Amino acid sequence: MQNKKAGGNLEDTRKLLERAKKPSRDALELHPLYRGKLEVTPKCTIRGAEDFAVWYTPGVAAPCRDIEKNPERVFEHTNKGNFVAVISDGTRVLGLGDIGPRAALPVMEGKAILFKYLGGVDAFPICLDTKDPEEIIRVCKILEPSFGGINLEDIENPKCFYILQKLRREMKIPVWHDDQQGTATIILAGLINALKLVGKEKGNVQIALIGAGAANIAVSRLLISFGFSPGNMVMVDSRGILHHNREDLKSAKTREKWHMCEISNRENKTGGIAEALSGVDICISLSRPGPGVIKKEWVESMKEDAIVFACANPVPEIWPWEAEEAGAQVVATGRSDFPNQVNNSLGFPGIFRGALDIGAKTITDEMCIAAAEELARYAEEKGLRRDRILPTMDDWEAFPRVAVAVAMKAMEQGVARKKMSREQIFEQASSTIKRARAETRVLMDSGIIKNWFNARSDGSQG
């Protein structure tokens, strides 16, 4: 685990903060050089102009007529089954808030290259110049003929709940909100292994959820579906603990929070973060950047062998070494430069790979749980440690395994268009992901993608 003394003085903290700023400085320099991160390339053979008679007119009329007669054959004749639309209105972008659809585009492009490199999924950023949930819903629905899935991204609370719920009911392709389902899946995966390390059972532990936005609401739902007791959960928003007497939450706008008031907090605790953490086993914080949002003495008040997930970016709610000094046995953050990064990118590429390969019509909570269990299993096989409860993005083999787990659950639940064996799913997912990674490497090795990291103005190698 992180050395407890490594950040124990102001100089070390200053160095950590400087290191945290470096990716932003690099991004401002490198984004203009590439003019974005995404482009479209052919996947078919083009020997010369004569081949366009097959790929375009007149030959293309034959598959068009076949699809007209048999609509499901669109998945055979086109790439629809591997296209995902990354849809955002730019109202809640990362830690930046409501920055608008144009400023959100670099994030959505980044999401698309994660889809491609980690999952072999062809994803397209679509940033919408509207904040109206009904318009967003309509856009998603009228795009359905072209896409095999929809990834909702960085849409503000509470409308994100309404948009996701309605689209999941009314569309026949998977619709996913990564800020909800993705975060919840990775949190669950990490928690499964953290509990193994401290020797505690899901049915008995008490959990404090710091932050009551879309992410932690979704986390609570998935944990309950997995078997954690809602009565043993305490959620905290900006005004304090959610409890049965929070009259300010009895409105349609805050229905998700009010539902938590009704089903959680069996002891009817009141107060703030300090009171929520007192005597609990687990802290899952998805709130605002720290440090200092969670204090050491509050972690000290938790039960023995406490688990702390402090996931705010770019700075966690409490530094991990402070949480350890306060008695936490397992600590996770959202940062890649600390152990146990809780990273949505571990989930959505493999989850969509499995859903798309099997032609899933939706992504259910049970499919998310299957993905979480497989991620946890993969990390356990590699060797569980306090500083390694999850795979990393470099563990590429984890992604086809997640794809298999998701696809098998989809078939079991009757939401898959295809029937495939476990071996077939694994082979198809693995080959697709390997192809995407190899394609990027070939383009880099050939110089078609220039390695600007080796020729930057500061002379560094990146």
DSSP state of 180: I
Statement to judge: residues 374 and 404 lie in one domain: yes
CATH number of the domain enclosing 131: 3.40.50.10380
Structural tokens at position 297 = 């003495």
In a domain, 64, yes or no: no
DSSP bridge pairs for 283? 208, 308
Domain boundary, last residue among 144, 173, 202: 173
Statement to judge: residues 140 and 226 lie in one domain: no
The percentage of residues in the chain with a pLDDT greater than 90, rounded to a whole number, is 85
Q: What is the pLDDT of residue 13?
A: 65
Statement to judge: residues 210 and 151 lie in one domain: no
Give me the half-sphere count of Cα atoms (radius 13 Å) on the Cβ side of residue 214. Answer: 26
Statement to judge: residues 214 and 301 lie in one domain: yes
What pLDDT, in 10s, does the model give residues 359-399? 999 999 999 999 999 999 999 999 999 999 999 999 999 99
What pLDDT, in 10s, does the model give residues 39-51? 999 999 999 999 9
What pLDDT, in 10s, does the model give residues 291-321? 999 999 999 999 999 999 999 988 899 999 9
Question: Is the pLDDT at 5 greater than 80, yes or no?
Answer: no
Statement to judge: residues 202 and 260 lie in one domain: yes
Statement to judge: residues 317 and 217 lie in one domain: yes
Domain that holds residue 424: 347-381+396-452
Q: What is the pLDDT of residue 7?
A: 44
Statement to judge: residues 163 and 218 lie in one domain: no
Measured CA to CA, the distance from residue 189 to residue 43 in angstroms comes to 35
Could you tell me the maximum CA-CA distance found in the chain, to the nearest angstrom? 74
Domain total in the chain: 3
CB atoms within 10 A of CB 154: 27
Q: Please tell me whether residue 371 adopts helix, strand or coil conformation.
A: helix
Statement to judge: residues 118 and 233 lie in one domain: no
Domain boundary, last residue among 131, 148, 173: 173
Question: Is the pLDDT at 423 greater than 50, yes or no?
Answer: yes
Statement to judge: residues 290 and 257 lie in one domain: yes
In a domain, 68, yes or no: no
Q: What is the pLDDT of residue 16?
A: 65
In a domain, 342, yes or no: no
Question: Is the pLDDT at 462 greater than 70, yes or no?
Answer: no
Q: Please tell me whether residue 233 adopts helix, strand or coil conformation.
A: strand
Question: Is the pLDDT at 149 greater than 90, yes or no?
Answer: yes
Task: Return all residues near 186 (Cβ < 8 A) that are at least 6 apart.
Answer: 342, 343, 344, 346, 347, 372, 375, 390
Statement to judge: residues 154 and 258 lie in one domain: no
Average pLDDT over residues 163-186: 96
pTM, to two decimals? 0.92
- Looking at residue 384, its amino acid is L
Residues 104, 110, 113, 115, CA torsion sign: negative
Average pLDDT over residues 195-215: 96
Measured CA to CA, the distance from residue 152 to residue 431 in angstroms comes to 27
Domain boundary, last residue among 147, 173, 199: 173
Average pLDDT over residues 22-47: 90
Q: What is the pLDDT of residue 313?
A: 83
Average pLDDT over residues 238-257: 92
In a domain, 339, yes or no: no
Statement to judge: residues 223 and 295 lie in one domain: yes
Residues forming the active site: 56, 111
Q: Is the Cβ–Cβ distance between 241 and 266 less than 8 Å?
A: no
Q: Is the Cβ–Cβ distance between 323 and 310 less than 8 Å?
A: yes
Assign 456 a pLDDT band (cuts: 50, 70, 90). Answer: low
Question: Is the pLDDT at 18 greater than 90, yes or no?
Answer: no
